[in-house]
Chain A
Amino acid sequence: MKITFPYMGSPYMYEKLFSLLGHEVITPPRPSQRTINYGVKYSPEFACFPLKVILGTYLEALELGADTIVTSGGNGPCRAGYYGEAQKKILQNMGYDVEFIIFDEPKRDWKTFLENVKKIKGNNSWRQVIKTVKIVYDMAKSMDKVEKIVETKRAYECNKEFTKVWHEITEEYRKIESSEDVKRVEKKAIERLNSIKICEVPEEEKIKIGIVGEIYVVMEPSINGNIEEVLNAYGAEVERSHYISEWIDFNLIPLPFYKEKEHQILKKGEKYIEIIIGGHAKQSVGAIIDFMERGFDGVIHLKPFGCLPELVSQSVIDKIMREYDYPILSLSVDEQMAIANVLTRIEAFLDVIKLKKHRKRIAR
């Protein structure tokens, strides 16, 4: 069984999980133009962009010899919950003999769920499995913690160092084997990041941007035009509304304490979108309000072209902008996205924010 999985954000957590459980893992390559071309060619034209990119990464992983795809299902009504089924149909029709292990909520189909768990568990003892899951969870937490430092500090770097160091750090994470390793790597990483030369900017000139939207395009830099790096390069601090460890907290850990943050965000979105309509539409709107209350200067809303839930949030974003006079930039991501277009729009957006801040200062 050669396992592969969807590529989102850092692939090392999934890689670690399966390899520590003793499976052979084929890590898909980072999505590139080739991946996108593959995905676009074989997906339905109007399927959302993440489906296309993920199909592309599967095809590349299959070329590398993978024969089993492990992915998650969902309860809808966002299309993402049905990706697995649709991609299975497409790949089978293309003649690939590939096994899909789709993890749906257990209550949907207990039998399949247990069978799937058994397949992943292999010959490991339950103790071993729990230990492994714990290591991977610690790793996810720790990587997100370090990445948040990068996203903030990179805005003020004197020489272009952070990105390179961050890549080296992720390689270090890739090598870990225990929770102690995670702590060790994290400590070293933070020390390294703190030693990078920073060109300080006066507090009142600092710009903070929040990124909200559909989880895949927010978390996957290779398809959103490296938006965080771009914003950092323009001198803006960045924070996302999605981090994998927070997703795990909310979706996979059945303890109320871990869900607190997400519930608060949802509550903030309630005024504009009353019920959960699938995907992260309500969270996106809630996160915009949250960023605003926390004093961020503006928000960038990312969504794949034609995303069902995010189109509803986009419909209410204009209202939020009018109501609070708050800058929000909504960008659609798909295979047609041109980097120059994105750069121009971001530049203009940041100019608006700078001008606004400047005027406020003068008024004071």
Chain B
Amino acid sequence: MKIGIPKALMYYFYYPFWKTLFESLGFEVVTSDDTSKSILDIGVKEAVAEICVPMKVYTGHVLNLLDKSVDYIYIPRFVSLRKGIFMCPKFMGLPDMIKGLFDGIENKILTHNIVSKSTDISEFHNYTVFIDKLGVSRKDLKNALKKARDKWLEFRALNKQGYDINELLTSDKPKKYDGDITIGLIGYVYNVYDRFVNMDLLNVFRKLNIKVVTFDMMEERIIQRQLKKFKKNMFWEFTNMLLGTAYEFMERDDIDGIIHITAFGCGPDSILEPFLTIDSEKHKKPFMTLRIDEQTGESHVITRVEAFTDLIRIKKYKAEKSVEGVI
């Protein structure tokens, strides 16, 4: 049996987990192609016009998988990864949304709710649907989940050491990249690592000799410590992580500037925005918002990143000089 996994949204965070899980259960895993113009165009055409670009991309990937004659498309419903904290409503309604967009796709969708205590989603009770639907035994499922969990933790450990997710997912010998200045990049995995949608942003940084740190490279306990500052946390798991990471970046001296990459029409990010803009100014940390959507052009991204990092370099250079007493 072939199980299709759309290369979008949480793919970038959980693919090692899902791949190991389904393969240990004896299924073949097929992913959709890398995001491309045709995938995006189909998504834009089929999805609701107003929805954010990551959801349009996801829709495109689902259709791409249908062409690959898979038996099931795996569309989990992420509900909560921490008590009292949810995911964005669009994630919570993702299977419903896909069912609503295409007639007759119900039987092709493999879905279940994920309600978990942490980002480790291997809790058995979430996957009991598989027993009937895929005809696997409890024991096999438990074993597969354990294997998947180990694999995922290994992946996350490397990720936290500073390897970016694209390196880890695509190459056997991942590389770390360094630079003369460091940018804290605030953004969800599907905006940061989808090379097509963000115009290969990470490579733009590399060419400019800039080191990038993202939220997925941070230890979760550091993020949680920062979040304690808030009396009431936001409702969305990954938005909270971005918030905590951003405050950590503001306080750290080795981060020279912060870039917030966000998709047009992202709801949670619109609430995150005032906190980041107001407080980064208070911390005197250079801050820029980079908004991407289906119409984003490459030169736009490059120009803005270049201008921003040039200013940071000038600032840093001046500061070093004045310490030496030249200026």
Residues of A within 8 A of B (CB): 44-48, 73, 75-79, 81-82, 85-86, 89-90, 93, 104, 108-109, 112, 272-275, 277-279, 281, 305-309, 311-312, 314-319, 322, 332
Contacts and interface: CB of A to CB of B under 8 A. Distances in A.
Give the secondary structure class of B's interface. Answer: mixed
A47 B274 CA distance: 10
Given A77-B87, A311-B90, A316 B100 contact: yes
B96 A273 contact: yes
A104 B278 CA distance: 25
A306 B87 CA distance: 16
A308 B273 contact: no
Interface stretch (B122-130, B166-174, B219-227, B228-236): B228-236
Contacts, number: 127
A275 B113 contact: yes
A275 B235 CA distance: 16
B267 A48 contact: yes
A89 B235 contact: no
Interface residues of B, number: 40
A314 B48 contact: yes
A44 B271 CA distance: 7
A21 B167 CA distance: 63
7 contacts: A46-B273, A79-B271, A90-B278, A274-B96, A309-B89, A312-B92, A316-B96
A79 B270 contact: yes
Given A89-B275, A319-B101, 19 more contacts: A46-B273, A48-B270, A76-B234, A77-B235, A79-B267, A79-B270, A82-B232, A82-B271, A104-B232, A273-B93, A278-B235, A306-B52, A308-B267, A312-B89, A312-B90, A315-B93, A315-B97, A316-B99, A319-B99
Given A46-B265, A89-B278, A311 B101 contact: no
Interface in B99-120: 99-101, 103, 113
B274 A277 contact: no
A272 B99 CA distance: 8
Contacts of A112: 231
B77 interface: yes
A318 B103 CA distance: 10
Contacts of A104: 232
A281 B97 CA distance: 12
Task: Give the residue among A46, A108, A272, A317 with the most B Cβ atoms within 10 A.
Answer: A46
Contacts of B319: none
B50 A332 contact: yes
A77 B236 contact: yes
Contacts of B88: 77, 308
B153 interface: no
Interface of B: 47-48, 50-52, 77, 79, 84, 86-90, 92-93, 95-97, 99-101, 103, 113, 231-232, 234-236, 264-271, 273-275, 278
A319 B89 contact: no
Nearest to B100: A316
Given A46-B267, A278-B92, A322-B103, A77 B86 contact: yes
Nearest to A314: B48
A290 to B, nearest CB: 18
A93 B267 contact: no
Nearest to A279: B89
A306 B50 contact: yes
Given A73-B232, A89-B275, A318 B101 contact: yes
Contacts of A109: 231-232
- Please name the 3 residue pairs, one residue from A and one from B, whose CB atoms are nearest each other, closest first: A76-B235, A316-B100, A312-B93
Contact of A319 (B47, B77, B100, B273): B100
A82 B267 contact: no
B278 A309 contact: no
A43 to B, nearest CB: 8
Contacts of B274: 44, 86, 89-90, 93
A291 to B, nearest CB: 18
